[in-house]
Amino acid sequence: MWRYLKAHERFVVDALAQPGGIPMAELKDFHERQIRYMQHERLIHLIVTLFVSTYLLLIIGFIAVHPIWPAFALAALLLPLVGAYVVHYFHLENGVQRWYELANRIDKQLGRVSQSYER
């Protein structure tokens, strides 16, 4: 997914660098469609991250009451999984934020109302 984010970002940046290439209105439509796909992906990963994190917290609470080894094993499996989901969601979120900035740059090229936000 990260490669997809980067590849699309490169495509849009390259298209913006060549104003006579792809018509900006078509680029805007394509880019907004990709943003919608990524927003859906973000939502799904947020839901999964929240559920896995909730299960981890529940198992930690269970361990506090009943410290048995299968519960520790489950917590040991869930902890790295939660970490991986958080890192993945972080990359998705930041990638989509960069795409919003690209959408604003496309709008600026089209002569529409646009704003550039400093990072």
pLDDT digits (tens, 9 = 90+) for 18-28: 877 788 888 88
CA neighbours closer than 13 Å in the CB half-sphere of residue 96: 18
| Matching residue, tokens 């869930």 | 78
Q: Which long-range contacts (CB under 8 A, 24 or more apart) does 42-45 make?
A: 42/89, 42/92, 42/93, 42/96, 45/85, 45/88, 45/89, 45/92
pTM for this predicted structure: 0.77
Whether the CB-CB separation of 101 and 16 falls below 8 Å is answered with no
- The domain limits of the chain are 2-16+24-110
**Cα(21)–Cα(26) distance, integer angstroms:** 11
Query: 22 or 87: whose pLDDT is higher?
Result: 87
Separation of CA 24 from chain center: 24
pLDDT digits (tens, 9 = 90+) for 91-117: 998 888 888 888 888 888 887 766 666
